[in-house]
Chains A and B, each alone.
Chain A
Amino acid sequence: MGKLYEHLDELENQSIFIIREAFNKFENLAMLWSIGKDSNVLLWLIRKAFFGHVPFPVVHVDTNYKIPEMIEFRDRLAREWGFELVVGQNKKALLAGNTFPNGKATRVECCSLLKTEALQELIAQKGYEAILLGIRRDEEGTRAKERYFSPRKQSFEWDFRDQPPELWDQFKTDFEPGTHLRVHPLLHWTEVNVWEYIERENIPVVSLYFAQNGGRYRSLGCAPCTSRVPSNATTVAEIVAELKQTRIAERSTRAQDQEAEDAFERLRAQGYM
């Protein structure tokens, strides 16, 4: 692929290795799909790893506050690529209206109810031993400290004070009954890498990432808590070029991160992605 893309080959090979390890070690495996760019790349890598197949379910946690275009995109891709889509939702919280947009929860509480708890419930219900997730180390400080294979307690907590060692691509695949694992095949990618790869492989993404009227989404979350960044990038190549220049942090438009110094850390310690 030439020197210009050498790093993408390296990233891709490493991710495929991790995905295959997870598939080999866990009978009951699923991938968490946020419909954002990272999880689209993850889904693509899974198809590469398994020669066009997605041999386990793809889970989407629907907060009911996603931007409508994302849901259309989700259902279309599931049809076209032919994988098993599982949708989870914290119906109880939604029925009770315990959400941020309703004014009955803070942003952070809303995130833990609609995402973390919904995922926890789904995992319990389906008995997934491990979940593949498209988080990256360069997104923010606590993710920078993640492992590829990250054990979670029954209570869903991330014990970042006592993580298992991980060396020479030997991962923690033995764990006590009742715990489960988060597997992070994209941990070593950067935001720019993700877009370079989307460009090289021609991977579909929702149009919200491209600029309209001088702004675009850089990170996609729920509509009430995500906003657009000023941008004129209307193609993937322009996005890559823009990101190589910018010094603005990727998640600066995600309101729940900004609430307090440790807001995101607390969310993640409880089991947020």
Chain B
Amino acid sequence: MAKRAVHREDEPLKNLAGETLSSRPLRIVIVGHVDHGKSTLVGRLFYDTGSLPEGKFEQIQAVCQKRGCAFEWAFLMDALQAERDQNITIETSQIWFKTRLRPYVIIDAPGHKEFLKNMVTGAAGAHAAFLLIAADEGVQEQSRRHGYLLSLLGVRQVSVLVNKMDLVGYSQETFDSIVRDYQVFLNELGVEPRSFIPISARNGDNVADHAEAVMPWYRGLNAIEALDSFELPAAKHDLPLRFPVQDIYRFDHRRIVAGRIESGTLRVGDRLVFSPDGKESVIKSIEVWNGPSRQTARAGESVGITLSEQIFIERGHIASHEQHPPQCSRHLQARLFWMGRRPLEIGRRVKVKLATQESECELASIERVVDSSTLELLGTERRQVARNEIAEVTLETRSPVAFDAYEQIPALGRFVIVDQYDLAGGGIILGNALQPRQALPGKLFVGRVSPDERARAHGHQGALLWISGGSKELKKQVVEALDRSLFSRNVQTIILDESTIDSSLHGSLPSQPAGDRLLFGLLLASGFAAAGLVVLAILEDGTHELREKCRKKIESLSGVFVHIHLKPEQPDSHSEFADVLVEPSKSVEDSVLQILERILPEIKYKSKKWFYEI
């Protein structure tokens, strides 16, 4: 059983080129389906490299004997009685380890679905991952789910270890077929694994040695070498400055702004902008206790600064340089992972925590929900996100929050959700969901003329007629005819077509995420409706959620909202929600009549008390 001992020497850490390396440990998480051998691998890694504390091997041996079971390497990590009794990891553990190259923190995650929140806890802070797949069982539910979660949590360096090769006679075919299976899955996620390694954790094959005797067909890295091939993430010094205010202290007659620099570098004399309020001040000093004074501080440092002008700032404000501020919005487009026992329904109030910011928020809409194991689309018209599901959603916060897209500045692009007392979800921000409610600031359209005055002058109220369904051609014909008959009744109309929006978006707002065309269209349409016009808007369907929001918005501005759907040959899900559903068999004239019957009584001017917001 004796294997090559690799380390435990007390020497400076050097790489193969002889350069001294950072003394910071690399954090590696071990994930994969239940029972696929994660904890066993950790035990074996320790043993094969001579890293077990003295007496530990004998202690585990004695415990196993007393329990009447075969020797379990997993007992090094599975320290709880409940874990040993059932031979299952419940809670993530962390243990320190060293190769000749550098120190590691090994994070052993549980594989059972029940303990997914513990796996997430372990994986969230990792720099790299080993994903284990047992050769006898192949790719299983958690093999895939964990793979997906790694990508969501931002763990990009992954090696796949195909374990228990001893149980399949060290068969190359079995190995190859698992590699193929899993590769397909990872490709869908856009994850490129570093390596696939056939091992037997229990026997130590390809763990710290090269098991040529039993797997002569494999010539690649062993587990230890794979570990050493990962890289520590680059420091975030060169990104734009993000300094979330953690607290304000008053000590010794100074007002100290305390926090951790999440990215970038700050210097004495720098002008800072505090988002989302936009207040500005200049850094007067970087405070130090029991150390030399300093002029700069960088990403990762917990510091305190004083400012030259006293402005009101508080925990949650995000300091940046003027040139590169974060985005601010009340609408976050996000990918959310839900861990809560009760599902998160649309409209339910929860709390979002993003860096040091906290804001009440609600789930405004669900764009789509995906099964985190199969990547199967569970629906686009879902009303809730249940436990262990991943969803693309829009969150609406009570007050504006400062953030960045996760891909740009991770620390400002991820958040957690607190449901009552519990941390129940986590997510990353894809972008700023420009929602109509947010995109309709009063000054854009309202001025001092009330909707009532406008309605009286026009003889009708403003309205948004959202026209969807049917063919492009049919929509065009119906809208033109509708426009004509409304005009002849002295109704002020305007046609808003997707192509208009497209062309206007194209020049000014490049590379907008999908869905923005629609949102921008709604912004314009709502503005026109609020100005008292009847907008004939040819828009893609959007979600029911979005339409309902839009309806609420228009109605709160005393306008009329009608969703007109030209039913296609194959009725779709929008047909069931439409206010006016036009049968495909109808002629254009009849269709227009049907629409007029519905809308004219609604938009007709009637004296009433207007709710008016400015």
Q: Within residues 224 to 274 of chain B, which ones have a CB less than 8 A from any CB in chain A?
A: 246-247, 249, 251-252, 256, 258, 260
Interchain CB contact under 8 A, A20 and B120: no
- Knowing A13-B260, A16-B302, A167-B416 are in contact, say whether A7-B24 is a contact too (CB < 8 A): yes
Q: Does B301 contact A (CB under 8 A)?
A: yes
A249 to B51, CA, bound (A): 11
Interchain CB contact under 8 A, A165 and B118: yes
Number of interface residues of B (CB under 8 A): 68
B79 touches A144 (CB 8 A): yes
B220: Cβ under 8 A from any A Cβ: no
B601 within 8 A of A: no
Contact of B55 among A49, A161, A249 (CB under 8 A): A249
Q: Are A24 and B246 in contact (CB under 8 A)?
A: yes
Is the CB of B167 closer than 8 A to any CB of chain A?
no
Cross-chain contact A4 with B79 (CB below 8 angstroms): no
Given contacts A137-B94, A144-B94, A168-B426, contact A51 B289 (CB under 8 A): yes
Q: Are B125 and A167 touching (Cβ within 8 A)? A: yes
**Given that A50-B251, A138-B95 are contacting pairs, would A166 and B24 also be in contact in the complex, using a CB cutoff of 8 Å?**
no
Given A10-B300, A138-B95, A140-B79, decide whether A165 and B120 contact each other with a Cβ distance below 8 A. Answer: yes
- CB within 8 Å for A265 and B426 given contacts A10-B24, A50-B251: no
Q: Say whether B52 contacts A247, CB under 8 Å.
A: yes
Given known contacts A3-B20, A16-B302, A23-B247, is B93 in contact with A145 (CB within 8 Å)? Answer: yes
Smallest beta-carbon distance B70→chain A, Å? 17
Q: Is B127 an interface residue (CB 8 A)?
A: no
Q: Per-residue 0/1 for B441-480: is the Cβ within 8 Å of any A Cβ (1 yes, 0 no)?
A: 0000000000000000000000000000000000000000
Number of contact residues on A: which range applies?
A: 35 or more
Residues of chain A contacted by B415 (CB below 8 angstroms): 170
Distance, CA A138 to CA B107, complexed state (A)? 12
| Nearest chain A residue, comparing its CB with the CB of B424 | A165
Find out whether the CB atom of A161 lies under 8 angstroms from the CB atom of B90. yes
Whether B22 is near chain A, meaning CB under 8 Å from some CB there, is yes
Binary interface encoding of chain A residues 192-225 relative to chain B, with 1 for a CB under 8 A from any of its CBs, else 0 = 0000000001000000000000000000000000
Q: Are B302 and A261 in contact (CB under 8 A)?
A: no
Main secondary structure of the interface of B (DSSP, over half): mixed
- Does B246 lie within 8 Å of A48, measured CB to CB? no
Most buried by B among A20, A170, A252: A170
Contact with B along A3-33 (1 / 0, CB 8 A): 1111101101110110011011000000000
Distance between Cα atoms of A14 and B302 in the complex (Å) = 8
* Residue A262 CB within 8 A of the other chain: yes
In the docked arrangement, what's the CA distance between A23 and B120, Å?
26
Contact between B421 and A174, CB atoms less than 8 A apart = yes
Chain B CB within 8 A of A76 CB: no
Residues of A within 8 A of B (CB): 3-7, 9-10, 12-14, 16-17, 20-21, 23-24, 47-53, 137-138, 140-142, 144-145, 147, 160-161, 163-168, 170, 172, 174-176, 188, 190, 201, 241, 244-249, 252, 261-262, 265
> Would you give 28 A-B contacts (Cβ < 8 Å), ordered by A?
A3-B23, A7-B23, A13-B300, A13-B301, A16-B302, A20-B247, A21-B246, A50-B249, A141-B79, A145-B79, A147-B121, A165-B120, A166-B121, A167-B124, A167-B153, A168-B414, A168-B416, A172-B422, A174-B351, A246-B54, A247-B51, A247-B52, A247-B53, A247-B54, A248-B53, A249-B53, A261-B63, A261-B81
